[in-house]
């Protein structure tokens, strides 16, 4: 068989999988988002109602507004924290040393832990009575004694960020370390010969060269933060009140607590649209390198 035909045939199995498992459901939930369909009333799709769900979300749903605010706050803190910590830690780990290689060796561990388990473990460790972190925070920093971490609106969000950062910072550090390792040594050495101090080398040579990697880390973390779900379920359950209800968790609640498939699909698609915007940006970054 000629390569001309074969090259497309080779794509077929994977294309079927991607089409069937991603594009089909995307299309279905897109159309569903224009329907009035509550499972409590009907098991078959209800009538089309145009943009009504989207209008409701935009103008008349405090729950949606709340989830939007929570998600935005979460993303902002989470992404900033991850970027700063991963970069700092990678720079620390860049040099050789026993402690450095030990740390590098354990960086992968948190990422191998199921996010759901991370959430439930942090729930345990921030438990008001027997949480080891609750005790530790109070011991290291006395004003924090007696804080009911998961009972306070802002504190609960911070614990959520902490649990997510615990899983992601070490991983992203590995990514930044990979980026650092790929940088040629000569420009930094030349800068040192030219008389630059270490912080000047970092600011003027290393960071500019590392920018593409940091952009990738930033975008990827934003994506995963926007989709935040597992730990919300197992760590805070969205509470206290609805102070930690993210958009993904809101979709889940609308769909599987209130069984409103139409509205759930609409909110899900608002989230998807945001993520697709990021996807376009990300793809440009990644595909910019010439294809060999």
Binding to other proteins (CB under 8 A) within 36-55 occurs at: none
Type and span of the H or E element at 250: helix 247-256
Binding to other proteins (CB under 8 A) within 268-287 occurs at: 268-269, 271-272, 275-276, 278-280, 282-283, 285-287
Give yes or no for residue 236 binding other proteins (CB under 8 A).
no
Strand, coil or helix: what is 38? strand
| x-marked contacts with other proteins along 146-175 as a string, rule CB under 8 A | --------------------x---xx--xx
Binding to other proteins (CB under 8 A) within 182-211 occurs at: 182
How far apart are CB 151 and other proteins at their closest, in Å? 15
Please, is 223 exposed, middle or buried when counting C-beta atoms within 10 Å of its C-beta (0-12, 13-18, 19+)? middle
Binding to other proteins (CB under 8 A) within 103-122 occurs at: 103, 105-117, 120-122
Q: How many chain residues interact with other proteins (CB under 8 A)?
A: 96
For residues 108 and 191, the answer to whether their CB atoms sit within 8 Å is no
Identity of the residue, 40 or 190, whose beta carbon is nearer to other proteins in the bound complex: 40
DSSP 184-225: -SHHHHHHHHTT--HHHHIIIIIHHHHHHHHHHHHHHHHHHH
Give yes or no for residue 258 binding other proteins (CB under 8 A).
no
How far apart are CB 50 and other proteins at their closest, in Å? 19
Nearest to 149 by CA among 236, 237, 47, 257: 236
């Amino acid at each position: 068989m000629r390569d001309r035909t074969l090259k497309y045939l080779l794509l077929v199995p994977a294309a079927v999988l991607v089409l069937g498992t991603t594009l089909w459901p995307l299309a279905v939930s897109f159309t569903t988002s224009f329907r009035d369909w509550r499972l409590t009333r009907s098991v078959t799709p209800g009538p089309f109602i145009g943009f009504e769900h989207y209008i409701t979300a935009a103008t008349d749903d405090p729950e949606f507004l709340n989830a939007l605010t929570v998600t935005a706050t979460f993303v902002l803190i989470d992404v900033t924290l991850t970027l700063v910590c991963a970069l700092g830690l990678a720079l620390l780990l860049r040099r050789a040393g026993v402690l450095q290689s030990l740390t590098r060796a354990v960086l992968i561990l948190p990422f191998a832990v199921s996010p759901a388990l991370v959430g439930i473990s942090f729930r345990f460790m921030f438990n008001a009575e027997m949480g080891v972190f609750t005790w530790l925070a109070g011991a290291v920093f006395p004003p924090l004694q007696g804080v009911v971490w998961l009972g306070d609106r802002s504190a609960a969000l911070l614990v959520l960020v902490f649990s997510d950062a615990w899983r992601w910072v070490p991983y992203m550090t590995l990514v930044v370390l990979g980026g650092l390792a790929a940088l040629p040594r000569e420009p930094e050495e030349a800068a040192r010969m030219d008389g630059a101090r270490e912080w000047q080398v970092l600011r003027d040579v290393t960071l500019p060269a590392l920018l593409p990697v940091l952009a990738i880390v930033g975008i990827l973390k934003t994506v995963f933060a926007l989709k935040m779900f597992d730990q919300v379920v197992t760590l805070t359950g969205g509470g206290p009140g609805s102070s930690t209800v993210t958009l993904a968790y809101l979709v889940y609640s609308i769909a599987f607590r209130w069984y409103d498939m139409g509205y759930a699909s609409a909110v899900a698609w608002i989230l998807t649209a945001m993520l697709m915007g990021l996807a376009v940006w990300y793809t440009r970054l990644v595909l910019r390198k010439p294809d060999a």
